[in-house]
Structure 1
Amino acid sequence: MASTDSFGAKGTIQAGGAEHEIFRLSAVEGAERLPFSLKVLLENLLRTEDGANVTADHIRALAGWDPAAEPDTEIQFTPARVIMQDFTGVPCVVDLATMREAVTELGGDPTKVNPLAPAELVIDHSVIIDVFGRPDAFERNVDFEYQRNKERYQFLRWGQGAFDEFKVVPPGTGIVHQVNIEHLARVVMTRNGQAYPDTLVGTDSHTTMVNGLGVLGWGVGGIEAEAAMLGQPVSMLIPKVVGFKLTGEIPPGATATDVVLTITEMLRRQGVVGKFVEFYGEGVGAVPLANRATIGNMSPEFGSTAAIFPIDDETVRYLKLTGRPAAQLELVEAYAKEQGLWHDPSREPVFSETLTLDLSTVVPSIAGPKRPQDRIELSSAKQAFRTVLVDYAGAPDQTDPDDAASTPRPSVDESVEETFPASDPAAPGSDTQDEAPHATTFSAAEGADGRASRPVTVTLADGASFELDHGAVVISSITSCTNTSNPSVMLGAALLAKNAVDRGLAIKPWVKTSMAPGSKVVTDYYERAGLWPYLEKLGYHLVGYGCTTCIGNSGPLAEEISAAVNEGDLAVVSVLSGNRNFEGRINPDIKMNYLASPPLVIAYGLAGTMDFDFETQPLGTSPDGTEVYLRDIWPTAKDVQDTIDSSITEEMFTNDYADVFAGDERWRSLPTPEGKTFEWDPESTYVRKPPYFEGMAPDPSPVVDVSGARVLAKLGDSVTTDHISPAGSIKADTPAGQYLVEHGVEKRDFNSYGSRRGNHEVMIRGTFANIRLRNQLLDGVSGGYTRDFTKDGAPQAFIYDASRNYIDAGIPLVVLGGKEYGSGSSRDWAAKGTALLGVRAVIVESYERIHRSNLIGMGVLPLQFPAGETAESLGLDGTETFDIAGVTALNDGSTPRTVHVTATKDDGEKVEFDAVVRIDTPGEADYYRNGGIMQYVLRGMLRS
C-alpha cells in the first residue's frame, strides 16, 4: 500500500547505478535530534503511513519523542523481513500450511496465504554432538541429523517450493545469526523501487546480533513472526533509549567476550527491560564489526529489546569483506548519509539514560554458574566456584534444602538486581525459580583446603583411569552465534591451542571437547592459517555448523563419566562460548554451567576443573619439565591481528555463500511433497495439523470472564521459557514419551522436543515438564507434576494428565508465578503449550517482554499482582478456586487497566484483589478479542 505521505517526505536518490524512491526524514521537524534507532522507526512510519494503522499523529509523536517520558504511545512497526531458525520456524510453516486449509474451509483462496515480507529460515538447531574428538565427527553427526529429522526437512523443502518469498538455508551451513550478518542482512533494503532501512523480527531472541550492522531487529515469538510474515505490523510502544558510550580500547589479555560479559552485568544492573540500547561516542569507530555483533547478540541477556550500533565506515568495510556487491555498498553509504543515519561521533543524540564504559578497564571474565549476567573476574573464579559449590554439592550439617525454598523472598522491581548471598535460592532473578539446591544432602568429605570433595574413580573403555570430583569440567565447547562469528576470539582460541600443543599440553581425559563454528568461513580461515591440526590435537574437531551445546544439543557424556557423576551426585561443570547457561539447559548430568571466551574454553579444558586459579596453578608441564601457565600460551593481540589479516579474505564469503539455499546432496535428494496445500501424514510423529482453527467462525465470539478456575501450577521467580517450553531429550516415562511409544516409536528414535515442535501432541505433553521446574503445589517435588483437583484428595499427577481431566470437566486453569516470568529465549511453544493445556490466565509479579506478548498471541490473559503484592503476601497457596471478573470490558473496544480476582479457599474464605491487565497496546487487545493473533490475521485475510 502506498504511503499517504502527509509530510511530503517522498523523494528519490541515485545510488548503486539505480534510482530509488525514499522517504526523507528531514521532512519531519525534530527528526534530526532522534537517536539512530528511533530514526529507523520514524522512516518506517513515514513509508507505511495509511491514515489508519499508521497516522500523521503517530509520526509527530515519534518525532517529538520525550526521552524522559514513560512509554505510552503505541506505534505500528512493519519489519522489512523475517528470519527464523528451524526449531521455531517449523511451527511457523506448520501454522501457515494449516491457515491455507482454514482459508479454503471458510471459502477463501489458499494460494493467497504467503509471506508478504521476505522470510528466510536457517536450519541450525538440530545437529547434536553425538560424535566428537575424531576426524569424522562432522559427517557422522550430520548423518544422524538427517536420520532424525527427515520428516521435518521434507516438510521445510515443501514449504520452500509452496510459499512465495520463503527460503530455507539447509543443514550444515551455519548458525542463523552468523549467516544473517555474513550474508542475509541488507542494511538498506531495495524492493518495489524503494530503498529503506533493513529491519526485521526473528524467531530467536538473539536476532539482535544483526544490530551490530546497524540493522534494527529483535526476537519475537513464532506467533508474532507469522503475523509479520503475513503483513501485520508489530504493535509496540515508543521505547526509552539508553545511550551507551564506549571509550578507550580493549587491553591485552581481554577479549570481546569479556567486554560483552561486562556490558551484560552493567545493563542488567541499570535495568533496560523493554528499552532500546544504542552505542555511541568516539570509541564506537574503534569497535570492530565482529565485536559489535557479539555485543548486539547478548541483548536478551541485558533484557533490552535491541542493542544497536549506527552505520559507519566499519559497517561498509564489513559488508565489503563479506562479499556484498559494490552497488549495495554504494547504496548503504549514500542512503545512510542522506537520511542522517551515518554515525557522527561529534554529535551526541538525546537519550533517556546514559552509561559509559572505558574499554581499557575490561578484565578477563567468565559468567555463571547459572545466569549470563553473573560475571566473575577470572582472577576470582576459583574462589567464586568454591563459594557456590555448597549450593550444588551439599555440605556437612546442611539443613534440608527444601526448607530453603519456603523462605519468603524480598520484593524487588523486575529491572533491579539486588545483591544476595550466592547460596540464597530465593535470590531475585535466580534461574532456579525458587528451586532448592539440586543435590540431596550428604556428608561430603572436605579436602585439606576446606572445599567439598567427593572423588569417584572412573575407568574408561580405553583403560584410562582417573578420579572425578566436584567441579570437573566435563564439557568444553566452542559453540554459539555469540562468539563463533568473531574472528578475534576464534583465532585467539586456535592460536592458544597451537601454543598449548607446542608446549606439550593435553586436554584432560574426562572432558568432552567440541568445535561448532557459526559458518563454513571459520573452517576456511582455520585451514588457511594452518591451525586446524592443533585444535584437533586437543580434541576440538569440527562437530557441526550449528548451535549445539548452547541450546542443549551437547549430546551425551561418555557412559562411564555419566554413571560416575550420578553415582557420586557430583556437581560437574560445562564451559562454553555461548550466551545461555541456565540450569538444566546444557546437559542433564551437569549442574553448573559457565560462559567464557573461546580461548578460555580451551584453557578450562586443559585445566580440567573449575577449582583452578590460572595465575598460580600451572596447566601442565612441558617435555623439558618446565611448568606451563596460561600466560605462557595466551596469544598476543598482534599475533591474533596478524593472523586475521593473513587468513581471512572476501573470496571465502562469496564462495561459501554462492549457492547457500541449494544444500548438499543429502538435502537435494530428499523426497519432497508437492502441491499448494500440505498432505498431512496421519501417522507422522513429527509434523501434524494443529487445532488452532478448528471450529473457527468468520467473526469472533465475545470475550468472557473466567469462572471456577483451578491452579495448574504455582511457581516462583525467574521461571524461564526453558522451564515452560518443551526442550531437550524426551524421557520414556513422561506423557510425551508414552505418546511416542503408543505410536510405535522406539526409545532410541525419540529425538528431542525441539525436533518435534511441528507435532502439537508431543509439545503439549512436554509443556511445564522441565526436570528443574518446582511447582509449589507439591512439597519437595521437581519436574512436570501438579495436584489434580478433579480427583478426591487432589493427588499428584503429570501436568498434562491433570490438564486433560480439567478440560474434560470444563474447568478453566490459571498459573501463578513470581518475578521475571517467561525470561529467556523467545519460545513460542511456551505460550502455545500453555494455551493448549487449557490455561486461561497467568497471574505473576512481572513479565519479560516476549513471553507476555506471546501469551496474548495465543489468547491467554497476562495479569500482574498489585504492586508490592505476591501470591505469598496475599496468602494464596494454589488450592483456591479463581474467578476473574471485568474481562468482558474488552468487548466494548477498550482495555481495562485492572480486573477483579476472587480466590476462594476450601473453607469458603475469599481473597480478593485487582490484578493489572498486561495487554499493553490496542493491537494486543485486538489479538486477544479474536482468540489469538493467528485468528486475527486469518479473519483479516478473509475480509480483504
Structure 2
Amino acid sequence: MTVGTEEYTIYSLHATGVDGVDRLPVSLKILLENLLRNAESPFVEEGHIAAFEQWLEKGYSSQDIAYHPVRVVMQDFTGVPAVVDLAAMRDALARLGGNPGDISPQIPVDLVVDHSVTVDYYGTEDAFEKNVAAEYARNGERYGFLKWGQEAFDNFRVVPPGTGIVHQVNLEYLAKVVWIRVEGGEKTACPDTCVGTDSHTTMINGLSVLGWGVGGIEAEAAMLNQPVTMQIPEVVGYELRGELREGVTATDLVLTVVEHLRTHGVVGKFVEFYGAGLAHLSIADRATIANMAPEYGATCGFFPVDDETLAYLRFTGRTSHEVDLVRAYAQEQGLWNDPSHRPARFTEILSLDLSQVEPSIAGPKRPQDRIPLARAPHILAGKEGRDTTGKISVPLKDTGGSLSHGDVVIAAITSCTNTSNPAVLVAAGLLAKKAYEKGLSVSPRVKTSFAPGSQVVTEYLSRADLTPYLNRLGFTLAGYGCTTCIGNSGPLNRDISQAIADHGLNVAAVLSGNRNFEGRISPDVKDSYLTSPPLVVAYALAGSMHVNLQEDPLGRDAAGTPVYLRDIWPSEGEIQEYIRKNLSPKMFSQRYASVFAGDDRWNEMAVPRGNTYAWNKDSTYIQAPPFFDDITSPPRDEFVLKQGRILALLGDTVTTDHISPAGAIPADSPAGKWLQEQGVSPAEFNSYGSRRGNHEVMMRGTFANIRIRNEMLADVEGGYTIHIPSGRTLPIYDAAMAYGRENTPLVVIAGAEYGTGSSRDWAAKGTRLLGVGAVVAESFERIHRSNLIGMGVLPLQFQKNDGRKQLQLTGREEISLRLKYPEPAAGMTVYMDIAYENGQSRCCELTARIDTAGELHYFRHGGILHAVLRNMAGQ
C-alpha cells in the first residue's frame, strides 16, 4: 500500500479466505489481522482464522486464539511490581543456566508514573510543587528502580512523575491508530493494539485502538512475546442515535451506558459502538465511554475509525502523513466506519437514544448505580437507610463551621475519564468563573483539588483565563496524576476526621472519576459519588448531597438573591467557543516534545547500574519476590487439595480493592505493624499501592481492606477471619500464616462478580502468598480470573444453583478438591467435598474457569512467568 511517497506492506483481510469478512465487527477484523500477521508464531494455528467464519454464522465461537498486542502500557502502581518480576526473572534464569540479558521486553513498553502523587496539600497555588516534592521524598527508591529498568531493559520507556495520567498520555501522544514496524528495511503497517496494566486501558478504544487491561503478570508475558490467550469474544453492537441535549455532558452519557450495559450483562464481551449518533460525539466523548468499559463489565468498548478520528489526530499534533496513513489503511482494510453501510454482524444489538440522557451522578459505592440528578436527594435518603438529613451538627473547632450527615468533605476534579475531555473541563472552569462573579464560595470543610491527566489541560485553561476562578474556589492544581480516583485523596483536616469518627457521620466525596468502591476514596468517607467536573464544582459550592441542584439555590449573591445552578451553567455554544479559541495542535506538540525528559529531581536521581538488580535486603519498597524460588521444580501433573480450610467466606461484588487495597496502610494492620518493626513510622507508610514492589507489605495487605466483610464474622468490617479449629478471631494474614505452619491448605469462597474492579495483579499474587490454592465463586470478573491462573491459583465456579448460601457454608467446613478426569483439561469439572462441622458431608461439582489450553499450560507450570522461564531455559 502506498501513502504519499512511502510504501507499506499490509496483511490484507481480503486475502484471508474468510467468507463474509466484510461483515465482521471492526474489533474482530483487528483480531483477525493480528492472527494473520503472526501466523508463523508457534501459538497461532490455521484453525484460528477459519473460526471467524463460524463466528459469522453463530455470533460466537469457543475457539481459543493467541493475540499478540503491538505494545504494552503501564502505570507505576502496577508497573513497579512488573519490573520487579522481570528483575527477579533475570536472577531465576541465571539459576537455570540461562543468560539474564534474555529477559527484556520484546515489544515497546511505556510506563507513565501517575499513581503515586497524593493530595497532601490543596487549595493553594503552591500545592502542586509541595505535593510533587512529597511524592519524590516518599517514592525516590521506587523511581530510582524504574530508572534502573529504563537503562537495563530494551524497549522500555518511562514518562516521569508530574507529566500526566497514562491513559490520557496514551490518547494524546502514544497511540498511533496505525502502527509501523520496520524490519530489514521493509515497513509493515498494522492496527495499533495494546494491553495495559490498568483496567482503564480501554480508554484508547475511543481512538479506534484496540486495547484493554490485563494483570501485570499477563502484561509481563506479553512483553516477553507470549500471546494473550483468549476465546474469540462475543461482540455486542451498541447503536447510538440522536444527540445529547443542552446541558448534558459526556459524563452523564457514560454513567447511563454503564448502568445499561451492567444491567444487561456484557462481562467478557466486546462492545462496539456504531450508528448515526457517533457523528455527534467527539473523540474525547468516545474516550470517556470507552474508559469505563470495566465499570460496565466489558473487555472493551470500541469505536471504529471515521473523520472524527482523523480530526482528533490532527488536533493533537500528529503529522499529516500519519493522518493520511490512518485513513488509507482503515479504508483499505474495512476498518472505516461508514454509516450508510448496513451494520456488521453482531452477537446481539442494543441501542440508546442520546437525546434521552439526563444529568446524573453515580454512587454511593458502585459506578453502575446511576442516580438522576433531579431525584438525587430523595434517592440518597432511601439508599442511606437512616435519618441523614442533617439533624446532627458537629462544630469544627479548627476548620470552622459544623459538619452534618450528607455534607461534602471531598470535591475532586480528577481522573483520565473526564480530564481528557476539554468540554467538561472548560465547563467546570466557566461554572467556577460565573459562581465567583456571583459571590459564591466553597466551605473550608470541603477538600477541593484539581488533578488533570496532562499538562495540556492546565495550559488551555490558563490561556482561557479560567484558572484564576478555579483557584479562587479552591480547585488549584494538586498534581498530574490519578490522586483521588485511586485513593490518594490525602488526609482530611484532623477535626473533620475526628468528628466523623466520634459521631458516626455519613459524609460524602464527589469526584469526576470512574471508581467509588468502598474504602477506596478515603478511610473517613463511606459514600462517594461520580459526577462530571462542573457538577463537582457545583456540589462543592452546595456543600451537601441533600441539596437538590436543579431546584435549590447553591447560595446567595452579595444582594442576598438566591443563585441557582441553572443561573451559572455554561451553554454548549459558550463551551465550544472557548475550546475553539484556546486549544491548538501546537499546544500538544510542544508539551509532548519532552515527555520523557523529567524535571531536575528525576534527572539528578542516583541510579544503580548492572544487568541484574542489586537488591537491598533492608528496603521496605523493593524486594526480590519469592515467586520463582521453586523454578527448578518440574511442572505439576495434578491438582490436589485435601482437608483444606476456608480462609474467607465472602459475598457478592468483592472487588480487587477489597482483596488488595491501594490506599492508606492502618498502623494497627499486619502491614502497618511490619513496617513499624522495620523502623518506618506511620507518617512514612505511604500507601499499599506505592509499596507493591515489596511482597512482605503486600501479602500482609491482602484481604485487608477496612470495608471488606467476611461472612464468618457477623457485623465485623475489615480483614479478619476465624482460625479453625482454635476458634480465634485473627487478621486474615495471621490466620493464613498459622494455617501454613500447620500445613493446612486454604480456599476462598465467594459470591458473584468476584474480582471486579482494577486489574490488580497483587490481588492474585497476595492470594497465592497466603497459601490459597483455589478460589471458589459464583462468577468471576475477567481480569482477576486470568490473574489467578497467572499465579497458579485455581479459579472454580459453582454450577447450576449452587453457591455458598445454597450449600449453607459457614466457613467452618473442611474442603477437599479433586479432579474428575485423570488429565486436566480446560473447563474441567472438579469435585468439592464438604465436611460440615456437625459431621455431615456433601459433594458438589464445580467448573474450573481455566478457559483455554494456553491458560491450562500456564496453570500447570504454576503461573505464566514460570512457563516463560522454563521455556527460555529449554526445560
What's the TM-score once normalised by structure 2's chain length? 0.98
1:896 deviates by 5.5
- Candidates 162, 171, 182, aligned match of 1:181: 171
Cα–Cα, structure 1 residues 112 and 17, in superposed 2: closer, same or farther, change >3 Å? farther
**Does 2:34 match 1:44?**
yes
Q: 2:250 aligns with which of 249, 256, 261?
A: 256
AA of the residue aligned to 2:116: S
The alignment status of 1:562 with 2:503, answered yes or no, reads no
Deviation at 1:52, TM superposition (A): 4.1
CA shift for structure 1 position 743: 0.9
Aligned to 2:338: 344
Report 1:430-445 matches (<5 A).
none
Asked if the contact 1:200–1:217 (Cα under 8 Å) also holds between the matched residues in 2, the reply is yes
What percentage of residue pairs aligned between the two structures are identical? 56
Q: What secondary structure, in the 3-state scheme, does the structure 2 residue paired with 1:889 have?
A: coil
- 1:439 maps to none
Superposed, which structure 2 residues align to 1:371-390 within 5 Å?
Answer: 371-390=366-385
Name the residue aligned to 1:440: none
- Measured in 2, the distance between the counterparts of 1:590 and 1:291 equals 30
Residue number in structure 2 paired with 1:925: 856
Alignment partner of 1:915: what SS?
strand
Distance 1:680 1:704 in 2: 34
Q: Does 1:595 align with 2:533?
A: no
1:350-749 equivalences under 5 Å are 350-390=345-385, 394=386, 451=389, 453-460=391-398, 464=400, 466-697=401-632, 699-749=634-684
706-715 vs 560-569, greater mean Cα deviation: 560-569
Residue 807 of structure 2 corresponds to residue 813 of structure 1: no
* Conservation of the 8 A alpha-carbon contact between 1:705 and 1:888: no
Number of corresponding residues = 868
1:84 aligned residue: 74
Q: Which has the higher mean CA deviation after the structures are superposed, 68-77 or 684-693?
A: 68-77
Q: Does the CA-based 8 Å contact 1:281-1:346 persist in structure 2?
A: no
Please say if 1:863 is aligned against 2:796.
yes
The structural deviation recorded for 1:905 is: 2.3
Give 1:942's aligned residue: 873
Deviates more, 1:650-659 or 1:865-874: 865-874
Q: Is 1:58 aligned to 2:48, yes or no?
A: yes
> Structure 1 CA distance, aligned partners of 2:56 and 2:775?
33
2:89 corresponds to which letter in structure 1?
M
CA distance in 2 between counterparts of 1:500 and 1:656 reads: 31
Question: 1: distance between equivalents of 2:441 and 2:244?
Answer: 29
Structure 1 position 649, deviation (Å): 0.7
CA offset digits 1:417-456 (Å, max 9, x no partner): xxxxxxxxxxxxxxxxxxxxxxxxxxx8xxxxxx463211
The whole-number CA distance in structure 1 between the counterparts of 2:235 and 2:823 is 31
Task: Write the distance in 2 (CA, Å) between the matches of 1:602 and 1:890.
Answer: 60
Q: Is residue 2:15 matched to residue 1:27?
A: yes
Q: CA deviation at 1:624?
A: 2.7
- Aligned positions of 1:141-180 closer than 5 A: 141-180=131-170
Could you tell me which amino acid in structure 2 is paired with residue 600 of structure 1?
Answer: L
1:21 aligned counterpart, secondary structure: coil
- Conserved in 2, the CA contact under 8 Å of 1:95 and 1:690? yes
Cα displacement string for residues 153-206 of structure 1 (whole angstroms, at most 9, x for unaligned residues)? 000000001000000000000011000000001111111221100011100000
Cα 1:691–1:888 change in 2 (3 A) is farther
Report the AA paired with residue 804 of structure 1: M
Render the CA deviation track for 1:877-921: whole Å, top value 9, x for unaligned: 111111111177345xx3362111111123432121111111111
> Per-residue deviation at 1:481?
0.6
Contact 2:644 2:816 in 1 (8 A): yes
Deviation by residue 1:534-577 (Cα, 9 ceiling, x = unmatched): 00010100000000111111111111111111121110000100
1:18 aligns with 2:6: yes
- Distance (whole Å) between structure 1 residues aligned to residue 569 and residue 714 of structure 2: 49
Give yes or no for contact 2:60–2:232 (8 Å, CA) kept in 1.
no
Q: Provide the C-alpha distance between the structure 1 equivalents of 2:729 and 2:706, rounded to a whole number of angstroms.
A: 15
Q: CA deviation at 1:622?
A: 1.4
Residue 837 of structure 2 corresponds to which residue in structure 1?
906
Does residue 1:824 correspond to 2:757, yes or no? yes
Preserved CA contact (<8 Å) 2:658 2:708 = yes
Task: Pick closer, same or farther for the CA change 1:512–1:698 going to 2, 3 Å.
Answer: same
Give CA-to-partner distance per residue, 1:121-141, whole Å, 9 cap, x none: 000000000000001000000
Going from structure 1 to structure 2, the CA distance change for 1:864 and 1:665 (only over 3 Å counts) comes to same
Q: Which runs of 5+ in 1 are unaligned?
A: 1-12, 396-443, 445-450
Q: Which amino acid aligns with 2:834?
A: A
Q: Which amino acid aligns with 1:456?
A: V
Read off the aligned partner of 2:370 and give its amino acid letter.
R
Q: Distance in 2 between matches of 1:623 and 1:252?
A: 29
Q: Which amino acid in 2 is paired with 1:460?
A: D
Q: Which one of the candidate residues 213, 218, 230 is aligned to 1:219? A: 213
| Matched residue type, 1:112 | D
Matched, 1:842 2:775: yes
| 1:703, distance to aligned residue in structure 2 (A) | 2.5
In structure 2, C-alpha distance between the alignment counterparts of 1:793 and 1:700, rounded to whole Å: 35
Out of 247, 252, 257, which is 2:241 matched to? 247
- Listed as ranges, the gaps of 5+ residues in structure 2 are none
Distance between the aligned counterparts of 1:654 and 1:254, measured in 2?
31
Aligned amino acid, residue 651 of structure 1 = K
How far the C-alpha of 1:702 sits from its partner, in A, is: 2.3
Aligned equivalents of 2:390 and 2:574: distance in 1? 40
Deviation at 1:779, TM superposition (A): 2.4
For each residue in 1:675-703, what CA deviation from the matched residue of structure 2 results, as whole angstroms up to 9, or x when unmatched? 11100011100000001111312742322
1:812 is displaced (CA, Å) by: 0.8
1:771 and 2:709 are equivalent in the alignment: no
Residue 68 of structure 1, CA deviation: 4.1
Contact residue 240 and residue 352 of structure 1 kept, 8 A: yes
- 2:70–2:194 contact (8 Å) kept in structure 1: yes
Provide, for residues 327-371 of structure 1, a one-character-per-residue CA deviation record: whole Å limited to 9, x for no partner.
Answer: 211211111111111111112111111112121111111111111
Contact 1:857 1:928 in 2 (8 A): yes
Rounded to whole Å, the distance in 1 between the matches of 2:142 and 2:57 is 46
- C-alpha separation between the residues in 2 aligned to 1:716 and 1:16? 59
**Amino acid corresponding to residue 719 of structure 1 in structure 2:** V
Could you tell me whether the CA contact under 8 Å between 1:257 and 1:294 is conserved in 2? yes
2-structure distance, mates of 1:606, 1:917: 52
